Amino acid sequence: MASLVGGAALGAVFGEVFNVLHDTVKSVGSDALMFKPILKSVKFNLDLLGPVVKEITRLNEILGHREEETKSLIEDMRKAKELIGMLDNQELDYPSQASFGRELAELDESVWGNVCGPSTPDFTVGMDLPLMVLKMQLLNEKRQQILLTAPGGCGKTTLVKMLGHDQEIKLREGLTKIGSNPILLILDDVWSGSEFRLKKFMFDIPNYNILVTSRTALPGFSFTYYLNPLNDDHATMLLHHSASLQHESSNIPVEAINKIVRGCGGFPLALEVIGRLLDENPVEAWCSIAKNWSNSHYIFNSSSDLLDCLRKSLEFSDHKVIFKERFMDLGSFPEDQRQRIPVSALIDMWAELHKLDEVGNNAIHNLHKITTRNLANLVRKRKDAGEINKYYNEDYVTQHDLLRELAIFESCQGPKRQRQRLIMDISRNTLPSWCTKQAQQPINARLLLILTDESFSSTWCNIQAPKVEVLVLNFQTNNYSLPAFVDKMDNLKVLIITNYGFFPTELRNFQLLNSLPNLKTIRLEKASIPSLCNAPILLKSLKKISLFMCNIAQAFGNCTIQVSDALPNLMEINIDYCNDLVESLQEKCLLATKNF
């Protein structure tokens, strides 16, 4: 539950950086006349945000949020400050003034977009009445807690996006109509059982409104709105739009369309996914699908029904096994609080599993295929990322909960030991029964995903995984030991380790990687590891290492051997938000010859 509009989503450092940027914009001299429109836009946006900043900072102190949660926003604001400062100092040494203005405009859009939430969908239908009801409720009451509830895939998130950007509601235009300096906090997708967390967001602030979306009708709200599925007319319109059908020229039989619409049960997600998958398919495909569905008489009233619908759509819509394989790989990343899958991690994974290029061209092409079918969303942070050294470190993929469940469901078909993707979800210290038996049989998986919770004590069973090429480890504990069976994974090529806790965690047993002759790529997030260049840790086959929010200055410090000896084949190292490592490298210049 993390979608915030004008709420407590920014780190404590936000107020300070905001003030510096605001002062810089106001101090720019008349020499910057040619950039006056964009500067005016920047100043206008900052003026609007100013009254809310004090409340944001105060709420942040109460909630105890950390700077790491808003690194991207803070960095964007600092970049904007540097650019505007160059204007005042007449340091315009860019290749062209147009590129300078474009970069400043993108930063303005990024800063404003981070604070005011995600943009609205390009096409919506059937949302006018629900939007009007929620608007009237917000505009008529000074302080309240509103619940928007519906099954998954009904359009709850779409509706609150529309509400946040409505001309009468959004901060830019009209929140002042419900009082001075109002705050609208939107918490999206709150699950049953987490109601107690909502109390942390209850503050005695005038004109403070909370809007919560949930699949469950949670108690304790001053107003609850039940979002219904689309009626047949609206559902047909959405299917036509998603499948790019022209009402006048479509040669698809109306009866076939009606059967598919009824099969989707009015769920926008199902209609969008199936419409995209049927786009440009022949009449015969539509008729065949309609016939199959008419035999089942789908009337959706639960998430499991919708999941079954989406599974069928994935099966009949694409005859290419490769496409389905890529989609199933997305289920290898747990749903975290950011709901983001790093594109760079997918590139590393697919380079080995599917023999795609390591640069990322084929991976991005495959992601576009998936996103055009509404099975995921590709978010590009920089519009020119593909042109500048294939930089994808800031890009990510998001996916609806049900689509992620579909990917996992498809991956879990067949006997566990025979699956190409094996997912181990360990709660507390309860290991799966199949891996605790005395007579341990090898697994056939090429991709092994292991998820553990905050109670896990790193007590592992012995797994024989001779065919695993990609190992994904996700954990939440303060200390974490690599499983002992790793040193027997002779075919392992990619290791992805992600800590979903709040602070970097110490990794133990890192020396086990010594015995892996084919390990080429390591990706670490929120990890702390021992020295990489002290015996016996020698990663002779490693070609690429990516470090995100890690504390590993000691990994390159106090070395008893040269880095080139410990990592003789290292060709690329990516560093993001690893402050202690950056400082260490600046002092020692240990990797000066490597590709950053």
Choosing from 381, 403, 425, the residue where a domain stops is: 403
User: Quick one: tokens of 259?
Assistant: 């059967």
Choosing from 289, 317, 345, the residue where a domain stops is: 317
In a domain, 372, yes or no: yes
Is the domain of 418 the same as that of 525?
yes
Is the domain of 355 the same as that of 220?
no
In a domain, 363, yes or no: yes
Query: Where in the sequence is the domain holding 21, given as residue range(s)?
Result: 14-116
Per-residue pLDDT at 108: 61
Per-residue pLDDT at 101: 62
Q: Is the pLDDT of residue 472 over 50?
A: yes
CA–CA gap between residue 53 and residue 31 (Å, rounded): 30
Instruction: Please check whether residue 138 is in contact with residue 178, taking contact to mean a CB–CB distance below 8 angstroms.
Output: yes
In a domain, 580, yes or no: yes
Is the domain of 439 the same as that of 547?
yes
pLDDT class for 6, splitting at 50, 70, 90?
A: very low
pLDDT class for 306, splitting at 50, 70, 90?
A: low
Is the domain of 205 the same as that of 334?
no
The string of DSSP letters for 290-350 reads HHHHHTTT----SHHHHHHHHHHHHHHH---HHHHHHHHHGGGS---TT--EEHHHHHHHH
Per-residue pLDDT at 241: 92
CA–CA gap between residue 421 and residue 429 (Å, rounded): 22
Average pLDDT over residues 84-95: 54
Is the domain of 361 the same as that of 394?
yes
Of residues 518 and 459, more confidently modeled: 518
Is the domain of 330 the same as that of 346?
yes
Q: Is the pLDDT of residue 243 over 70?
A: yes
Q: Is the pLDDT of residue 557 over 80?
A: no
Average pLDDT over residues 462-491: 91
Is the domain of 159 the same as that of 217?
yes
Q: 337-379, pLDDT tens digit by residue?
A: 456 899 999 999 999 999 888 788 888 888 988 887 778 888 8
In a domain, 500, yes or no: yes
In a domain, 59, yes or no: yes
Is the domain of 218 the same as that of 160?
yes
Helices (H), 217-297: 232-242, 254-264, 268-278, 283-294
Average pLDDT over residues 389-393: 71
In a domain, 6, yes or no: no
Q: 180-235, pLDDT tens digit by residue?
A: 566 788 888 887 777 777 777 777 777 788 899 988 888 889 999 999 999 999 99
Q: Please, how many CA atoms are within 13 Å of residue 289, restricted to the half-sphere of its CB?
A: 30
Q: Out of 53-67, 330-344, 449-463, 479-493, which region has the weakest mean confidence (pLDDT)? A: 53-67
Is the domain of 92 the same as that of 197?
no
Per-residue pLDDT at 234: 96
The CATH number that applies at residue 264 is: 1.10.8
* Radius of gyration of the CA atoms of the chain, in A: 26
Q: Dihedrals φ, ψ of 8, to 5°?
A: -90, 60
Average pLDDT over residues 472-479: 89
Q: Positive or negative CA dihedral for 554, 559, 562, 567?
A: negative
In whole angstroms, how far apart are CA 477 and each of 98, 451, 463, 527?
Answer: 49, 11, 21, 11
Q: Dihedrals φ, ψ of 183, to 5°?
A: -130, 130
How many domains, in total, are found in the chain? 5
Q: Is the pLDDT of residue 67 over 50?
A: no
List the end-to-end C-alpha distance of the chain, in Å, as a whole number: 35
In a domain, 254, yes or no: yes
Q: Is the pLDDT of residue 88 over 60?
A: no
Average pLDDT, the chain: 76
Q: 125-177, pLDDT tens digit by residue?
A: 999 999 999 998 988 767 788 999 988 888 999 999 898 777 776 543 444 44
Is the domain of 449 the same as that of 579?
yes
CA–CA gap between residue 118 and residue 360 (Å, rounded): 26
Amino acid identity, position 359: V
Per-residue pLDDT at 495: 97
User: Quick one: tokens of 25?
Assistant: 């914009």
pLDDT class for 12, splitting at 50, 70, 90?
A: very low
Per-residue pLDDT at 552: 74
Is the domain of 574 the same as that of 448?
yes
Choosing from 297, 317, 337, the residue where a domain stops is: 317
Share of the chain above pLDDT 90, in %: 21
Average pLDDT over residues 238-256: 84
Is the domain of 470 the same as that of 353?
no
In a domain, 8, yes or no: no
